[in-house]
Each structure stands twice: as structure tokens, then as C-alpha cells.
Amino acid sequence: MNAWLRYGFDIGAARQFLNDVASGLVEDSNDELLGRTLSRLALNLSIEEILKHCRPPKRSNFLGQYRMFWALNFIGS
């Protein structure tokens, strides 16, 4: 997944992957996939598309990619 997100991806497939992760079709127990995908796609998504993924983290005691996205990439920009 890292190589796919870093070196090139189809935006339609990436949006579908993001939705699959968010809906639970793809296992993401600590929101790392969701956070990484949001971070990489943020410039290609509308505010509405991004905000539909805003929710409390699955693990309240875990500081990972999902929290970092909201704290640094979204709110911090």
C-alpha cells in the first residue's frame, strides 16, 4: 500500500479504497490505513469528502496516522 500511495495510484481506486477502509470492508483496527490514505489523498478530495471520515478514533489511547492527519494535516494547515 505504501508504494501504491507514494508512487502513483488511480484516484478513483484510491477513493474506493478509502471508503472501503472507512466502512470496515478493509480491516483497520487502529485507523492507520485510514489516516495514511487520508493524508495522501487530502489534496485530491473536497472538504465534504474529507469530513465524512471525521469520527472518534477506534483506539482512544493510540496516537497514529489518523490522529496525526486531523491534528497536523487538516487542522494545522
Specify the pTM. 0.82
Choose between 62 and 7: higher pLDDT: 62
What pLDDT is attached to residue 10? Answer: 83
50 closest CA partner among 77, 25, 26 = 77
The number of helices, as runs of H, and strands, as runs of E, in the chain is 5, 0
What pLDDT is attached to residue 64? Answer: 93
Average pLDDT of the segment spanning 30-41: 92
28 closest CA partner among 62, 75, 77, 71 = 62
Q: Name residue 50's amino acid.
A: I
Question: Is a pLDDT exceeding 80 seen at residue 59?
Answer: yes
Q: What is the pLDDT of residues 42-53, one digit of tens each?
A: 988 999 999 999
